[in-house]
Structures are given as structure tokens and as C-alpha cells.
Amino acid sequence: MSLHPPVGNYDHLQGVLGAEFTLVEYGDFECPYCRAAAPVIDEVRGRLGDRLVFAFRHFPLAELHPFALSAAVAAEGAALKGQFWPMHARLYAGEEPHLTQDDLRRYAEEIGIPPEKVVWPATQFVEDRVEADFNSGVRSGVRGTPTLFVNGEQYRGDITVRNLLDALVTPRAETA
């Protein structure tokens, strides 16, 4: 499956559009597999540097993870203050997720934004953004988290540094 829409300036990006390689994650802040993938992705980003643009898109599996949606909108609330990536890091920090409303408020304070900006009703202004990410995931064939797209195509291998680096930098065989 191919990524739809492609990475653009509407995404949360680390790196710059037009980089040689692209990695997109559809993630859920309460998902243990996403939590395990976060340091792997960080290492891949570190190794490829400016050659890679990484985009994160929300895919909260609210039926399985009761705090996933509130964490996603908290991240978007932080994004309105230019603090998406610091909030992203806090939400994935540690062995276990801590995503209650009190936790979200504490994270906001830690990154220097008013805590009321990351919880409802302030987050009602960003709920559409989370829904748009989720819908783009559905259109792109996402069924669970994490789902990664490497250079625009869905990645199906194990999420290891070596495998992701190989998938990103090895040219694909052209199909006729």
C-alpha cells in the first residue's frame, strides 16, 4: 500500500521536505509497540541525519487504548504552541504509558506551556487534525500501530535499526 496523502508541510516533521529518504509512522501513544519503536526510529533518524525526513501521524486505537485519543489531542494542543515534538517525547518516555489528564497537564508544564491547553475543552480545536491523520491512515491501508511507510510504501518488516536503514537506503526494484 502507498501513503496517502504523501508527506507535506501539514505533517509533524523532523527533517525537511524533499529529503532523500522519508519515514512516516502512524502511531498511538498508548501502544506498547509504538513505544518500543520510538527509540529505534530515533536512532535511524540520528544515523541518516539530514538525508531523512520523519513524519508522525496519529492513529489512536481508542477501542483498545482508552487514553490514546486524549494523548493525541494533547500532542496537537502542544503543537499549537510549537511544542509537538517535546510533547511527543514525553508521551513515549518510560517503560509504561502515563497518559491520564493529570499526566498530560504535568507534561505541558514540563515543556513550558499552560496545562489547560492540552486538555479538553481547549483541545476541541485540534480534534479534526487527529481525525484527519486517522482517516489518511485508513486510506493508506493502516490496520494497527505502529504502521510505517518507507519512502511512500508500507513497510512490513521487523522494526529494527538495521532493517529500517536497509529499507530506506536500498533502492527498490522497479516493477514493470
Mean pLDDT of 8-20: 96
Q: Are 135 and 58 in contact (CB under 8 A)?
A: no
Cell of 55: 513524519
Q: Are 124 and 2 in contact (CB under 8 A)?
A: no
Mean pLDDT, the chain, rounded, equals 94
Distances (CA, A) of 144 to 5, 31, 59, 134: 18, 10, 8, 11
Indicate the pLDDT class of residue 175, thresholds 50, 70 and 90. Answer: very low
Mean pLDDT of 141-145: 97
Does 40 have pLDDT greater than 50?
A: yes
Q: pTM of the prediction?
A: 0.93
Place of cell 508527506: 7
Say which range, 38-42, 50-54, 90-94, 168-172, has the weakest mean pLDDT: 168-172
Q: pLDDT tens digit string along 147-173?
A: 999 999 999 999 999 999 999 999 765
- What is the per-residue pLDDT for 124? 82
DSSP string, the chain: -B-SSPP-TTSEEES-TT-SEEEEEEE-TT-HHHHHHHHHHHHHHHHHGGGEEEEEEE---TTT-TTHHHHHHHHHHHHTTT-HHHHHHHHH-SSS---SHHHHHHHHHHTTS-GGGGSTTGGGGTHHHHHHHHHHHHHTT--SSSEEEETTEE--S---HHHHHHHHHSPPPPP-
- What is the per-residue pLDDT for 173? 54
Q: pLDDT tens digit string along 23-34?
A: 999 999 999 999
- What is the per-residue pLDDT for 176? 38
Domains and CATH numbers, the chain: 12-169 (3.40.30.10)
Does 106 have pLDDT greater than 60?
A: yes
- What is the per-residue pLDDT for 29? 98
